[in-house]
Amino acid sequence: MRRSSSRSVRFGSIIASAAAALLAFSACSAPAPAQQGFDSWDQVTAAAKGQTVRLWMYGGDEQGNAYVDKTLIPGAATLGVTLQRVPVADTKDALNRVLTEIQAGTRDGNVDLVWVNGDNFGTGKQAGAWSCGWTSLLPNMVLTNPTDPLLANDFGTPVQGCEAPWNKAQFTIAYNSATVSEPPHTLAGLLDWAQKHPGRFTYPAPPDFTGSVFTREVLDSVSGGYKNVPLRFDQKTFDRITPALYGRLKELAPSLWRQGKTYPKTSAELNALYAGGQVDFTMTYGPAELTKLVAHGTYPAATKVLTLTEGTVGNASFLAIPATSGHQAGAMVVANLALSPQQQAAKADPRVWGQYTVLDTARLDAAQRALFEKLPQSPVVPSYDVLSHNANPELSAAWVPALDDAWRRLVLAGR
Amino acid sequence: MAPPASVGGRSWLPGTLMAAPAVLIAAFVVVGGMATALAQSLGLFPLVGPPSLTVAAYAAQAGDLPVGIGLSLAIAAASTVVACLVGFTAALVIVQGRWCGKLVAALGTLTIPVPHIVGAASVSLLLADSGLLSRLFNTGGSWPELVGGPWWIGVVAEYGWKESAFVALVVTGTLATRAVSYDETATLLGAGRLRRLRHILIPLSLPTLTISATIVFVYSLGSYEVAWLLGRVYPEPLPVMALRLFNAATLTARPEAAAVAIVTTILSFGAVATALTYLNRSPLWR
């Protein structure tokens, strides 16, 4: 008796609070992206004074963190903007935060600026997560080349002023030249090497960013070059050209680390395997980190960059302002500062971060160009011109989840 | 859990009223969260497009769900068995009260505040291929696949270690307050150690053990960080799968993540209901 009546009381309160919760949630349908309302750069700088801008960025790159903390944040402070760095394990966390804020109808969100590109940018744009049309206001945008394909399209998604360029990157494979006596010169050669040396090669499991780009490199390779892979995604092409990719990867799997029954979950895990000498190759989209890792002894001293004759995939990464940010002016001031020749040159220094510049050197004056010419060369990583030789374009963002899902289904689950 | 049965029909009302503020706050968070997850899994809160009632999110993961359910239940069951066996043994040692009992109690108390994610990182540093033990014994590649291996040993070891301390301390509380007098009486009547264990210690601690086992089971069923850090990429336990889908850069994946979370919740409720049914039948519980 006692038990059943207390149960009904509890049940009643559950119903009541569930109804309250549903009411609360149904009240907030997706809001329209915040309006800009700025006509000139002077209005932006005036509005930015005293604002606090939270920059959400991948926190696993210590040099990147140090650059932002020691160079970009003091630079923003001189412009009256307080910049705070929010480290995230994956840029998807920042996008998810913005999407949640959009669902909740927030207009003064926690994310003011995101270091982003690729499918995260594309997904966010589709969901209306980004402020758009603001980059033309930035004075430093004239120093970039508007026809540069890497800056006009982000993994096939037109940028359309929804994000300001920040870095250029080149997918890079590194190897230990002490253990790999005859390094391959093509990606096909690398896969053959892996089959001849069982257990000494692996790649991070997509959807890890690096593992994902590796599978796209293999797709280019098995298709006979990137020119045979259309950048725009369509299901028919996917069905036609990907069996060769997954066939090759399945054939390769038994020769991988742990017989390909499992894979490193993240590129950090692959890097740890490489640092521990368990595999002979690692790969990264940020070759800048290699210099310091070798200098510190984390990576073998004989680490070298593998240059592939067919080239590797290159891309650019950007700073985007979420539509839910309440400090859009401050975020625009920071994005403009990050594009300045001084900041871009400081960032390109391999001792600082070593991220390649997005500026077009032809558009710089002599003093600005001198900033870049002064930079020291890395003993491990070749210059951007060498690395980006024959650079392949990134496939459109729609390819990425499709390739990752099929990899999961066919290569990972298939064993 | 119900308070000790009281005599008379009126006494439940003040008790319920006094608990109401806490219950309401907890219910708002828990029920509100679950209602949102349920609505999202049924397509009522899409990120893009109009809301429509559909089970597409459940159907989309129909291939991976059974494997995930089986794996999650297996990991939770193995962890619970290890935690209960180790924890109960530790509780017996602690109740003996000699120096080794105090040592075990101290170790157990020290284990409790360590966060699971720190525990998982420590297990990884200790047991992984390039971990401390592998280097200490200089195995040169012949180290068993404890972390990220096919049997999820690292995961079960972490849960077993952390949760056995929890089980030990809870069971010790019961044994110390309820069992000591019976134990002494039985000793005076000439019962040996094994008979006291079988007829007094195990039956008296069984309800407590059942409750703590349920908590351990539900916890290891629903938490993701240990399985994510120490597990392998495929197959995935349900919480890891839910997190991967939640973080996927595909707008349709969020309802699927919610669907996986709802399945996990149903399994947890099932485990709790089974345990409560069992307890309600047990004469010692009343």
Q: Tell me the two tokens of residue B224.
A: 């993701």
Closest CA to A308 of A407, A223, A225: A225
Name the segment(s) of chain A with CATH classification 3.40.190.10.
Answer: 13-169+316-376, 172-312+393-412
pLDDT at B279: 92
Asked if B248 and A207 come within 8 Å (Cβ–Cβ), the reply is: yes
pLDDT at B130: 76
Q: Which residue among B20, B130, B251 places its CB closest to the CB of A126?
A: B251
Fold entry, domain A172-312+393-412: D-Maltodextrin-Binding Protein; domain 2 (3.40.190)
Give the closest-approach CA distance of B35 to chain A in angstroms. 7
Mean pLDDT: which of A279-293, B66-80, B136-150 is highest?
A: B66-80
How far is CA A59 from each of CA A63, A64, A87, A93, A322, rounded to the nearest angstrom? Answer: 10, 8, 4, 11, 19
For residue A130, list its beta bridge partners.
Answer: A322
Asked if B45 and A103 come within 8 Å (Cβ–Cβ), the reply is: yes
Q: Write out pLDDT tens, residues A314-354.
A: 889 999 999 999 999 999 999 999 999 999 999 998 889 88
pLDDT at B12: 63
Q: Residue type at B229?
A: L
Closest CA to B178 of B202, B210, B213: B202
Q: Is the pLDDT of residue A20 over 60?
A: no
| Residue A154 DSSP SS3 | strand
Instruction: Count how many Cα atoms sit within 13 Å of the Cα of residue A241 in the half-sphere of its side chain.
Output: 24
Tell me the torsion sign for CA atoms A9, A15, A18, A22. Answer: negative
pLDDT at A415: 64
| Residue A400 DSSP SS3 | helix
- Phi first, then psi, for residue A317 (nearest 5°) are -120, 160
pLDDT at A27: 38
Query: E-assigned strands of A161-301?
Result: 163-170, 172-176, 281-284
| Residue A114 DSSP SS3 | strand
pLDDT at B6: 45
Q: Is the pLDDT of residue B150 over 60?
A: yes
Average pLDDT (B78-104) is: 93
Asked if B32 and A17 come within 8 Å (Cβ–Cβ), the reply is: yes
Asked if B248 and A92 come within 8 Å (Cβ–Cβ), the reply is: yes
Sequence-ordered list of residues with C-beta below 8 angstroms from that of A181, at least 6 positions apart, any chain:
none
- Phi first, then psi, for residue B277 (nearest 5°) are -60, -45
Asked if B16 and A6 come within 8 Å (Cβ–Cβ), the reply is: yes
Do residues A115 and A55 touch, judged by C-beta distance below 8 A? yes
Q: Which of B7, B234, B245 to mutate to test the interface with A (most CBs of A within 10 A)?
A: B234
Query: Which residues in chain B are contacts of A20 at CB distance < 8 A?
Result: 28, 32
Chain-wide mean pLDDT for chain B? Answer: 89
Q: Write out pLDDT tens, residues A38-91.
A: 889 999 999 999 999 999 999 888 889 999 999 999 999 999 999 999 999 889
Asked if B32 and A18 come within 8 Å (Cβ–Cβ), the reply is: yes
Q: Which residue among B130, B233, B247 places its CB closest to the CB of A96?
A: B247
* Helix or strand run (H / E) with residue A385: helix A384-387
Query: Which residues in chain B are contacts of A119 at CB distance < 8 A?
Result: 249
pLDDT at A177: 95
Q: Write out pLDDT tens, residues A259-302.
A: 998 899 888 889 989 998 889 999 998 887 888 889 999 999 99
Distance of CA A339 to the CA centre of its chain: 18
pLDDT at B286: 59
pLDDT at B268: 96
Where do we find the tokens 């969020």? B254
Q: Which of B31-45, B179-193, B260-274 has the weakest average pLDDT?
A: B179-193
| Residue B167 DSSP SS3 | helix
pLDDT at A6: 39
pLDDT at A1: 33
* Helix or strand run (H / E) with residue A140: none
pLDDT at B145: 86
Do residues B206 and B214 touch, judged by C-beta distance below 8 A? no
Closest CA to A259 of A208, A343, A195, A326: A195
DSSP per residue over B12-76, as a string?
HHHHHHHHHHHHHHHHHHHHHHHHHHHHHHTTSS-SSS------HHHHHTTTTHHHHHHHHHHHH
| Residue A354 DSSP SS3 | coil
Q: Is the pLDDT of residue A401 over 70?
A: yes
Sequence-ordered list of residues with C-beta below 8 angstroms from that of B23, at least 6 positions apart, any chain:
A10, A13
Mean pLDDT: which of A30-34, A101-105, A284-288 is highest?
A: A101-105
Residue A409 is given by DSSP the state I
pLDDT at B137: 85
Give the closest-approach CA distance of B79 to chain A in angstroms. 22
- Phi first, then psi, for residue A9 (nearest 5°) are -60, -45
Q: Tell me the two tokens of residue A152.
A: 């006009």
Q: Is A265 on the interface with B (CB under 8 A)?
A: yes
pLDDT at A2: 36
Query: In whole angstroms, what is the distance from residue B195 CA to residue B178 CA?
Result: 17
Q: Identify the structural domains of chain B with CATH numbers, from first to last.
A: 66-281 (1.10.3720.10)
Q: Is A96 on the interface with B (CB under 8 A)?
A: yes
> What is the bridge-based pairing of β-strands A281-284 and A82-88?
unpaired
Q: Which of A7-16, A391-400, B82-91 has the weakest average pLDDT?
A: A7-16
Q: Which residue among A13, A17, A93 places its CB closest to the CB of B247?
A: A93
Fold entry, domain A13-169+316-376: D-Maltodextrin-Binding Protein; domain 2 (3.40.190)
Q: Tell me the two tokens of residue A21.
A: 């919760």
Average pLDDT (B239-264) is: 90
B58-69 burial, b at 16+ Cβ within 10 Å, e below that, comes to bebbeebbebbb
Asked if B234 and A413 come within 8 Å (Cβ–Cβ), the reply is: yes
Q: Which of A17, A257, A274 to mutate to test the interface with B (most CBs of B within 10 A)?
A: A17
Residue A322 is given by DSSP the state B
Q: Tell me the two tokens of residue B66.
A: 């059974």
Q: Write out pLDDT tens, residues A192-205.
A: 999 999 999 999 99
Q: How is chain B split among helix, strand and coil, in percent rounded to 5?
A: 75, 0, 25
Query: In whole angstroms, what is the distance from residue A252 CA to residue A195 CA?
Result: 6
pLDDT at A243: 96
Residue A303 is given by DSSP the state E
pLDDT at B108: 92
Average pLDDT (B178-193) is: 88
Give the chain A residue nearest B245 (alpha carbons). A207
pLDDT at B10: 55
